[in-house]
Amino acid sequence: MQIDLHHAMTWVVARDAGFLPAQASTIAHAAQYVDDATNYGHIEFSNGAAYERIATAHKMLEYRNLDSLKNMKVWVPFHFLPGNGGLPAGQNPSGSFIQKLICQPHSYVAKDMVAEVLADKDRPYSLHRLGITAHVFIDTWGHRGFAGVDHPVNHVRDIKDHNGQTHHSLIAKVSGYFANILQDNIPSLGHGQALSHPDLPHQHWSYQNGLGEHIERNNPIDFLQAADELCKVFQTYLVKPITGLSPNVKQHIAQCFAQFTSDDPELRHQQWLDAIAADRFGLGAHRLSYIAKGPGSWKHQALGTTLAQGDEAYYEYHPDFMHSDWKHFHDAAKKHRQSIIVDILPRYGICVS
């Protein structure tokens, strides 16, 4: 999924579940920032203090970064949560180890992930971790059938949209980002060969997977179910009745899927923001915004830098850094990664560290 759903729709779902506007904004910002936190390593302060942050994403369309894309510490815990074949801990799907890594919607692994964040509610970064969890949780619907490793299981052929037409022009465009290499050589990492089809909320599509199976996907139906289940996660966090989305909000989310049909995620995001500002969902009009990098971003507020890539040699330390959203996000991301890789996945016989 992309910024329209990870940010704007997540805000709508959080508000419908009962979070206050500011709380929902923190959750939604963290959910989207998972796709934008691409820097990693230590930063140093002029007073001698230091802090280590981690990357929760890599840039997908830069050929020089393909080796980095194989880093399971990024793609497995933050984007392609292993599904263990939909089976509980202690049971194994048939076939080879890759079958355990394939993402499955609302898997037992995903439920364990939710349980971990619910048990961590007393932390200052709790809402940030809930946002990270929200990102990974709904991506189990968008990324179903794919694995966060470079493997033939992710091979995709014969992509068709709901009209049965292969997107040759889109394939050519994306292949161009990979320095004119053949479409067959687009890395079989995650859903790279499926292009943006798994992320588009309006897309009905089909393809042949790496196992030779014909797969039909109806994103509007899948993503609406994901939003409803995410609402239940938020209601559980708030200790409220577990009812899922209210009928009005559910109806309008489905309408947005049907009406916002551009393949440009930024355009769809703006349409969602306009709908929120106009109180389309009946949750109260709100001017929601998101800045990933530069002036006004979480990193800028925490460190005073406007750099989008790289770091200053040193940063001036301010006590407010300890309570900044940027630090809370990275604290939460490190705890999330540790929880998934060290605590949860080994219960399912999955070792990726």
Give the sign of the dihedral formed by CA 138, CA 293, CA 190, CA 272: positive
- Report DSSP state, residue 82: B
- Sequence-distant contacts of 158-162: CB under 8 A, at least 24 apart: 158/206, 158/207, 158/208, 159/194, 159/195, 159/197, 159/205, 159/206, 159/207, 160/205, 160/206, 160/207, 161/197, 161/203, 161/204, 161/205, 162/203, 162/204, 162/205
User: What DSSP designation does 38 have?
Assistant: -
pLDDT at 113: 98
Given this model, what pLDDT does residue 4 score?
97
Residue 262 lies in a domain: yes
Query: Quick check: is 353 in a domain?
Result: no
* pLDDT of amino acid 281: 98
Six-digit token string for 15 = 């508000």
Question: CA nearest 167: which of 176, 158, 175?
Answer: 158
Total number of domains in the chain: 1
Residue 153 domain-assigned (yes or no): yes
Structure tokens at 201: 């909320």
H or E stretch at 157: strand 157-161
Residue 353: predicted pLDDT: 76
What per-residue confidence (pLDDT) applies to 189? 53
pLDDT at 193: 52
Domain that holds residue 248: 3-348
CB 69 within 8 A of CB 189: yes
8 Å CB contact between 51 and 43: yes
| pLDDT tens digits for range 247-304 | 999 999 999 999 999 989 999 999 999 999 999 999 999 999 999 999 999 999 999 9
Q: Kindly state whether residue 138 falls inside one of the protein's structural domains.
A: yes
Which mean pLDDT values do the consecutive 10-residue runs of the chain (353 residues) have? 96 98 98 94 94 85 46 88 97 93 96 96 97 98 90 84 55 43 49 63 88 90 98 98 98 97 94 98 98 95 86 89 98 97 97 85
| 44 is a domain residue | yes
State the pLDDT at residue 218. Answer: 93
Q: Does residue 19 form part of some domain?
A: yes
Provide the 10 A C-beta neighbour count for residue 89.
Answer: 15
- Has residue 118 been placed in a domain? yes
Query: Contact 269/4 with Cβ under 8 angstroms?
Result: yes
| pLDDT for the residue numbered 100 | 96
| Cβ contact 271:5 at 8 Å | no
188 domain-assigned: yes
**Farthest CA pair distance, the chain:** 61
